[in-house]
Structure 1
Amino acid sequence: MSLKPISSPVPVVWYPTLAVFMLAIGLIVTASFFIYEATSSKRNRSLAKELTTGAVASVFLGFGSLFLLLASGVYV
């Protein structure tokens, strides 16, 4: 039985591109969240929409930060 080395499921050359796109999407979703909070009244707000938008922004910013660190050589 031969052992295979551990390798990334994503090619290393994709790290910078993934970082830029995921961070951009995360920042756009975050901006839409802030716009929603600033323009809607307290009676018209939806907790489900706030939680969904916050979760989507968090996931994209988290993975974008991860790929940014990987692209810059910080292996986490």
Structure 2
Amino acid sequence: MAQSAKPITSPVQDAWYPSLAVLMLAVGLVITASFFIYEATSSRKNRSLAKELATGAVASVFLGFGSLFLLLSSGVYV
């Protein structure tokens, strides 16, 4: 009656972790830089809260997953 347990595996191959870490961190840093440039060059009256929140959220997602893959590629399994 007891079913055999299946091992837990990653949906991403282990060999891809370093490449994904570099790619996602690079994209996240570029989006973060564009956010800072937007904040520095636009006046207070021309700023859009929706654009700021969207840019911040996208940068946060890329930097978060990039940090996760960086930890995984260095052997820290979280």
TM-score normalised to structure 1 length: 0.98
Question: Would you identify which runs of 4 or more consecutive aligned residues in structure 1 move more than 4 Å?
Answer: none
Unaligned runs of 5+ in 1: none
Question: Aligned match of 2:55 in 47, 53, 56?
Answer: 53
Rg larger in structure:
2
Give the aligned CA root-mean-square deviation in angstroms. 0.4
Cα-to-partner distance string for 1:12-71 (whole Å, 9 max, x where unaligned): 000000000000000000000000000000000000000000000000000000000000
Unaligned runs of 5+ in 2: none
Give 1:3 shift. 1.3
- In the alignment of these two chains, the number of paired residues is 76
Tell me the residue number matched to 1:68. 70
TM-score normalised to structure 2 length: 0.96
Question: Aligned match of 1:36 in 38, 41, 52?
Answer: 38
